[in-house]
Amino acid sequence: MVLFYLLLTLTCFLNQTNGTSSQTRVIGGEDARAGQFPFAAAIQVQTSTSRFFCGGTLTANQWVATSGHCVYNGVVFTIQLGSNELVSDDPNRVTVSSSTYILHPDFNPETIENDIGLIKLRMSVEYHIYLHPIHPREGTLSDNASVYVLGWGQTSDSDAELSNSLQYSVLSVITNAECRITYGNQITDKMICAIGNYNEGTCTGDNGGGMVVQNGRTYALVGIASFVSSDGCESIHPSGFTRTAPYYEWMTNITKETDD
């Protein structure tokens, strides 16, 4: 059985052993167009002992959804919104900080069950064509559905640098039974797995980023990047996500009070 690694665990390990950056990018991805995914968030996480990078999704005017292991023990979150570029100049970029988060009460850092968290911004952000939220979708996601995954993480196992440009890839959802062939019974009904045509998928640094489906010109959030294979991001093994549908009520009850 191929075991999976938490992307956060891998990040901390690399930082401690050889000093390389372990930020993740989408494997086999393409550059996103300006405004294509205006809900994408880039998050620098500071804990009491380390600093690392995660992705996220703006789901309301004061809330960013990400993985539970991205907020676990977090002290300060610096979040960039409204831009596909991490470091290049962009007049549409909004940078905010926060120290407030809500971790799912049943998050298990050992098994990464219930791997979901919400970061509350200190003030509402102003929406425009390059910055506006996406909402989680209620209900099931069909097997073999086409989904978008996105992030600024590694584009290969050999290159540990973050991507300056937001990357995206189109994957296909597989059944949990098929995913258990690779990962065993660690895969629960609240998780979801997806694969690309070859080795496309998430990698270190994409953790916390959104899995979204498109309906016409709009998108809906259906998953949050959670884990990858211990055989590496470029293996043909599935990428793992937290399903957001089982947490729909939990998420919306928290965020609805500040959502305009």
In order along its 260 residues, the chain shows pLDDT tens digits of: 444 445 443 333 333 333 322 333 365 578 999 999 999 999 999 999 999 999 999 999 999 999 999 999 999 999 999 999 999 999 999 999 999 999 999 999 999 999 999 999 999 999 999 999 999 998 888 888 999 999 998 766 666 678 899 999 999 999 999 999 999 999 999 999 999 887 788 888 899 999 999 988 899 999 999 998 877 666 778 999 999 999 999 999 999 865 54
Q: What per-residue confidence (pLDDT) applies to 148?
A: 96
Q: What per-residue confidence (pLDDT) applies to 258?
A: 55
Cα-atom radius of gyration of the chain, to the nearest Å? 16
Query: Could you report how far apart the first and last alpha carbons of the chain are, in Å?
Result: 46
Q: What per-residue confidence (pLDDT) applies to 18?
A: 31
Contact 90, 83 (CB under 8 A): yes
In order of their start, the domains of the chain are 38-133+247-255 (2.40.10.10), 135-245 (2.40.10.10)
The CA distance from 198 to 181, in Å, is 18
Nearest alpha-carbon partner for 209 in 257, 165, 249, 149:
149
The CA distance from 191 to 44, in Å, is 25
pTM, 2 dp:
0.88
Helix, strand, or coil (residue 259): coil
DSSP 195-229: E-SSS-B--TT-TTPEEEEEETTEEEEEEEEEEEE
Report DSSP state, residue 242.
Answer: E
Phi and psi at 59, nearest 5°, equal: -110, -10
The CA distance from 109 to 235, in Å, is 24
Q: What per-residue confidence (pLDDT) applies to 140?
A: 82
Nearest alpha-carbon partner for 30 in 209, 170, 196:
170
